[in-house]
Amino acid sequence: MAVTIRRAKREDLPTLEWYGLHTPHREIIADAYRLQERGDGTMLLADVNGFPVGQICIDFLRKRPSGRATLWALRVFQPFRGLGLGAMLVRAAEQIVIRRGVTVAELGVDRDNSGVLPFYERLGYEHCGRERGQFLYHTPEGKLIRVAIDQWLLCKQLPEKEEPDSGSGLRLAAE
């Protein structure tokens, strides 16, 4: 299976709803893309035959004062889980963070999703705090949704410069 890791394009946005699974999150997906357009974020996709089967977002704005980049919205379409795409997306996101001169990547794991903690720990992430709060979004029908946040924060210290390819072969697709 040939996988290309690339930045999202505007025409990817409807497909990222994954046949209606994420249609209620249309506003969140569009906001992440706008962050990329402004240069304050990046949306990376794992593309298989022109279909985005995975994604991860990077927010350079939210934690800028603390010198951290936030990785969020890592997801892999169900039929493609267990193939290493999540790890590929995290490593690609880390490369982007390093290129921006940021040396700490941070992500949140919902406290009711503790089963993913070993995945992030294998990738070198360590517990560094807890975050509570909420975020709001509108569904395509205009309904306001309020989501409570109760997360463990995980951090990873990244090298100041990209390390030479360690044989993983991971490269981002040309723009």
| Residue whose token pair is 């996101």 | 93
What is the rounded distance in angstroms from the CA atom of residue 156 to the CA atom of residue 145? 31
**Nearest by Cα to 20 from 140, 146, 142:** 140
This prediction has a pTM of 0.90
Tens-digit pLDDT profile for residues 82-101? 999 999 999 999 999 999 99
Structure tokens at 41: 């974020």
Tens-digit pLDDT profile for residues 113-156? 999 999 999 999 999 999 999 999 999 999 999 999 999 999 99
